[in-house]
Structure 1
Amino acid sequence: MILYVRGTLKEGDWVDEIHGTSSGFAKAAAEFGAVIAGAIWRTAFLEPGQPGGEIHGKAR
């Protein structure tokens, strides 16, 4: 799975052109956390082949 987080960090969320600030990394981590939590929920509560098992949001 690839999680597209480009554009998540805005001006002010960067230390320099490569490194995010702590709050910037927290924003990216929140995106990952939401996708991971959704995947865990789907795995735990949906039967195989049941609708709703697809990943939504920014995950690709």
Structure 2
Amino acid sequence: MDLNDLAGKAGELLNQHGDKVEDAVDKVAEIAKEKFGHEEQIDMAADKLKEMIPDGPGAGQAP
């Protein structure tokens, strides 16, 4: 399996399970805030990640 195949499979999984990925982003963000602080920066990064998820809160918006 080459990198293009792997990227294609990852894209398919995001399309099928975007809600689960979004939940995981939220959980990781909470853990990072507890461990490192910097709540505002972590929230901004989590929001940007969620914008990249198909059908996520930022779906269809220009980056």
Q: What's the TM-score bracket when you normalise by the shorter of the two chains? A: 0.3 to 0.5
Q: RCO greater where, 1 or 2, for CA within 8 Å and sep 6 or more?
A: 1
**Which has the larger helix fraction?**
2
The two structures have a TM-score, normalised by structure 2, of 0.35
If the length of structure 1 is used for normalisation, what is the TM-score? 0.36
